[in-house]
Amino acid sequence: MDTDTGCELLLRIDPFSRLVPEDIKSVAHRLEMVSFEPGRFVFRQDDPSQDALLVIVSGLVELLVTSERGEEAIVGYRKSGEFFGETVVLSGQSYPGSARAKEPLTCIRVGRDVVEELIRTHPDFSEFFTTLLAERMRRLYETIQSEQNDLFVGKHELPLFNKRVGEIMAHPVNCCRMTDQVSDVSLDMAHKGVGSSVVVNNTGRPVGILSRKNIVYHLVARQSHPVGDCRASQVMNDNFETIAPEAFVGQALAILTRQRQKYLLVIRDEKPAGMLTAKDFIKSRNMGNLTLLQDIRSHRTLDELAGVSGEVDGVLNALLIEGAGTSDTLEVMSGLLERLTRAVIRISEKQMADKGLGPPPVAYCWINMGSAARHEQTLRTDQDNGIIYADPDPKEHRAPGQIKAWFQTFADMVVQGLARCGFELCTGDVMASNPLWCRSVSQWKACINQWGGSFDPEDTRNMTIFLDFRPVWGNQSLADEVRETVFKILSQAEVSNHMLTRDDVTHEKPIGFMGHIRTEKSGPNKDQLNLKTHGLVHLINGIRIYAVNQEIKEVSTLGRLEALTRQGTFDKDTAEILRTGFETLMMFRIRTNVEKLAAGEVPDNYVHPGSMSRKQRELLKDALLAVGHMQKMITRDFNRAWIGFFSG
């Protein structure tokens, strides 16, 4: 076949059809025609990549997969005008399956160098392969997730997190009207044995929830209304969360855990359709640990709180048993751990008052940093926290030293309380008990200015840590004010951005020559991979630097990724690759650490690729390729001169 005929054939096949004839002709001399007799293998499963895309000119090829038991199965065919080998042409991985000529086969061999050149110079051509990788990663991730759920749940039960809200909600809903007397509603609730009533307007739409707690607080404790004349609208809680019955259970549990409310109202056609509380999950199998949601709220002493905090790990096990996805697991566990943190702070405030030290002298905000702030904490790892407190009003003549002393005493109390509840002390001393992380608003602003203009690696480290902070308790406006200063400094000091990218662009790529995973070469973790330091950290850091450049306030990695995609920084397929890579690495990390914890070992984020199934290794490689993709993006989008300067 001559060159012109080969070029014409390529131009009829996607993604080459996205090019113009001149583009194909410019690389025609680098294309190769290859032929195979029937029965001959083009490549075999687990062979190293040939670094080529094979476009079929004539003939038929069958694609096969051999199971770990040695059983061979045909999974597809490719005919004239189609191609194969695309899954590894860019990754350099071993072939996940075999390709064998079914009929006399002739192909155009398009080398990896040609494909990469066309990707670099033609965005439409590049988009095809990005979409291909994104779809492959998502399918493989969902397959592995399902298989791992089977190991925990068993194949004959539907995991709770695969169910819809409508399947577990309590219904029908007890309702009352805005004008109903509270005394009548209370009697109705007692008669029906329910703890709340949804308040609706004249059209039947919900406007609030009236609970026993509302009634006791307003009519007994505060006596804010005459009992005989009080209407439901006067004492109801109009701040409530809603969800659709078609939503998955995981979304509902994440909302219940994250919010400080007891009820989640299920809405269909703008009318109440059902109600969800923690009890509805507890009634479902394996979720009894969610009594923690009630226990954390009810305990008033640190001893009581420390007693129940040990059950947190049981919630994580229950989530795995019930088939929770990675994002659901992160949301629920982070919400639960935040509740525990807020309870410790609340109890510590009371202890300060009981000791005669009084209430907080000025408004303050307790912040979490690190994985806790990013909502990526599943086990109770070490603490990363701080305090931002308001500058005293000069008119009140309060001594700054006395205010500082109060917050230092308070911070020590909270940090030790968290330690009693299983949150280990930070070995790097990134805790509110360290004066460096307990400052007034003006002190924080001055500190951020100093970090932003510094070339000291320690200042860079501190700035990186501080970029991921989330308000947990107190006056959030103080945190917002400080965050605005962070964005202002980084927007004015371009150097700071490149300091933050230094480690990612200079770090060795996790996939080596011939598509092999780079593992530890010696020591106690020989042949193992640290999922955190060699994978997750680089995705988290990369997404962070893009988010900071766009002044995105969200601090969770998945939340930042979603925001960056909405505003067009990442296209949909690139975002899907990064998201699936992150969820994959996090899934392996969570399950590996839980298994080690159950075996009495220390969770250390290490996994042994050699002990994984073939599918798991494929997915792990794809996730690590996403890490490499992020490193390339950072190198492309940030000034190379600055990167070189800071790497020297």
**What is the tens place of the pLDDT at every residue in 469-527?**
999 999 999 999 999 999 888 877 554 455 555 555 555 667 765 567 888 889 999 99
**Residue 487 corresponds to which amino acid?**
F
12 and 103 in a common domain: yes
Residue 583 domain-assigned (yes or no): no
Strands 364-369 and 60-66: unpaired
Q: pLDDT value at position 75?
A: 85
Q: What is the dihedral of CA 449, 450, 453, 459, to 10 degrees?
A: -120
State CA 282 to chain mean position distance: 25
Q: Evaluate if residue 254 carries a pLDDT over 90.
A: no
Q: How confident is the model at residue 61 (pLDDT cuts 50, 70, 90)?
A: very high
Q: How confident is the model at residue 645 (pLDDT cuts 50, 70, 90)?
A: very low
**Range 477-482 contact pairs with CB under 8 angstroms and sequence separation of 24 or more:** 478/363, 478/364, 478/365, 478/388, 478/389, 478/390, 478/441, 479/365, 479/367, 479/388, 480/553, 481/441, 482/388, 482/441, 482/444, 482/445, 482/448
Q: pLDDT value at position 157?
A: 46
Q: How confident is the model at residue 1 (pLDDT cuts 50, 70, 90)?
A: low
User: For residue 75, what are the domain limits?
Assistant: 3-121
377, 556 in Cβ contact below 8 A? no
Task: Identify the helix (H) or strand (E) that includes residue 448.
Answer: helix 441-452
180 and 263 in a common domain: yes
Name the least confident of 73-87, 103-117, 250-264, 603-617: 250-264
Closest to 42 measured CA to CA, from 83, 7, 91: 83
Last residue of a domain, one of 69, 95, 121: 121
- Per the model's pLDDT, the better-predicted residue between 491 and 367 turns out to be 367
Q: pLDDT value at position 132?
A: 77
3-class SS at 505? Answer: helix
Percent of the chain with pLDDT over 70: 87
Residue 317 domain-assigned (yes or no): no
Q: Evaluate if residue 162 carries a pLDDT over 80.
A: no
71 and 20 in a common domain: yes
430, 465 in Cβ contact below 8 A? yes
- Specify the residue for token string 């009352």: 176
Q: pLDDT value at position 149?
A: 56
The segment with the largest mean pLDDT, out of 144-158, 230-244, 318-332, is 230-244
Question: CA 386 to CA 317: how far, in whole Å?
Answer: 30
Residue 198 domain-assigned (yes or no): yes
**What is the tens place of the pLDDT at every residue in 187-212?**
999 998 888 999 999 999 999 999 98
195 and 108 in a common domain: no
Closest to 352 measured CA to CA, from 342, 344, 360: 360
Question: CA 547 to CA 596: how far, in whole Å?
Answer: 34
Question: CA 323 to CA 105: how far, in whole Å?
Answer: 45
Q: Evaluate if residue 247 carries a pLDDT over 90.
A: no
Q: Evaluate if residue 246 carries a pLDDT over 50.
A: yes
65, 45 in Cβ contact below 8 A? yes
- Per the model's pLDDT, the better-predicted residue between 455 and 621 turns out to be 621
263, 275 in Cβ contact below 8 A? yes
Residue 216's CATH number: 3.10.580.10
168 and 117 in a common domain: no
- Give the number of residues written for the chain: 648
- Per the model's pLDDT, the better-predicted residue between 641 and 284 turns out to be 284
Q: How confident is the model at residue 293 (pLDDT cuts 50, 70, 90)?
A: low
Which residue intervals of 493-571 are DSSP H helices? 494-506, 537-549, 557-566
204 and 102 in a common domain: no
Residue 557 domain-assigned (yes or no): no
**What is the tens place of the pLDDT at every residue in 452-482?**
888 788 888 898 889 999 999 999 999 999 9
Instruction: Please give the structure tokens belonging to residue 331.
Output: 């949301």
Which strands make up the sheet holding 241-243, listed edge to edge? 241-243, 264-268, 271-276
- Specify the residue for token string 């005293």: 392
Bridge partners (DSSP) listed for residue 473:
366
173 and 276 in a common domain: yes
Q: pLDDT value at position 174?
A: 93
177 and 84 in a common domain: no
Average pLDDT over residues 273-295: 65
Average pLDDT over residues 271-299: 68
Q: Where are the beta strands (DSSP E) in 67-136?
A: 72-79, 83-84, 98-101, 105-111
**Residue 107 corresponds to which amino acid?**
C
Name the least confident of 72-81, 221-230, 241-250, 317-326: 317-326
pTM above 0.85, yes or no: no
Q: pLDDT value at position 62?
A: 95
435, 408 in Cβ contact below 8 A? yes
Q: What secondary structure letter does DSSP report for 267?
A: E
179 and 271 in a common domain: yes
Q: How confident is the model at residue 42 (pLDDT cuts 50, 70, 90)?
A: very high
Q: pLDDT value at position 205?
A: 94
Last residue of a domain, one of 280, 298, 322: 280
Residue 627 domain-assigned (yes or no): no
Average pLDDT over residues 152-159: 46
Residue 101 domain-assigned (yes or no): yes
Instruction: Please give the structure tokens belonging to residue 521.
Output: 């070469």
Instruction: Please count the structural domains in the chain.
Output: 2
Q: pLDDT value at position 352?
A: 96
577, 526 in Cβ contact below 8 A? no
Residue 405 domain-assigned (yes or no): no
Residue 24's CATH number: 2.60.120.10
| pLDDT averaged over every residue in the chain | 85
State CA 597 to chain mean position distance: 22
Q: pLDDT value at position 289?
A: 53
239, 216 in Cβ contact below 8 A? no
Average pLDDT over residues 202-226: 91
Q: pLDDT value at position 500?
A: 58
Cis, bond preceding 510 (omega within 30 deg of 0): no
Question: CA 250 to CA 256: how far, in whole Å?
Answer: 10
185 and 111 in a common domain: no
Q: Evaluate if residue 168 carries a pLDDT over 90.
A: no
Question: CA 230 to CA 232: how far, in whole Å?
Answer: 7
Cis, bond preceding 15 (omega within 30 deg of 0): yes
Last residue of a domain, one of 247, 280, 313: 280
Q: How confident is the model at residue 642 (pLDDT cuts 50, 70, 90)?
A: very low
576: Cβ contacts below 8 Å, ≥ 6 apart: 134, 135, 137, 138
173 and 112 in a common domain: no
Residue 205's φ and ψ, nearest 5 degrees, are: -85, 140
Residue 217 domain-assigned (yes or no): yes
What is the DSSP annotation of 119-186?
HHH-HHHHHHHHHHHHHHHHHHHHHHHHHHHHHHH-TTS--GGGSBHHHH-B-SPPEEETTSBHHHHH
Q: pLDDT value at position 281?
A: 66
Q: How confident is the model at residue 158 (pLDDT cuts 50, 70, 90)?
A: very low
564, 579 in Cβ contact below 8 A? no
Average pLDDT over residues 408-431: 94
Average pLDDT over residues 242-266: 81
Q: pLDDT value at position 648?
A: 32
**What is the tens place of the pLDDT at every residue in 557-607?**
999 999 999 999 999 889 999 999 999 999 999 989 888 888 888 889 999
- Per the model's pLDDT, the better-predicted residue between 80 and 253 turns out to be 80
Task: Identify the helix (H) or strand (E) that includes residue 210.
Answer: strand 206-211
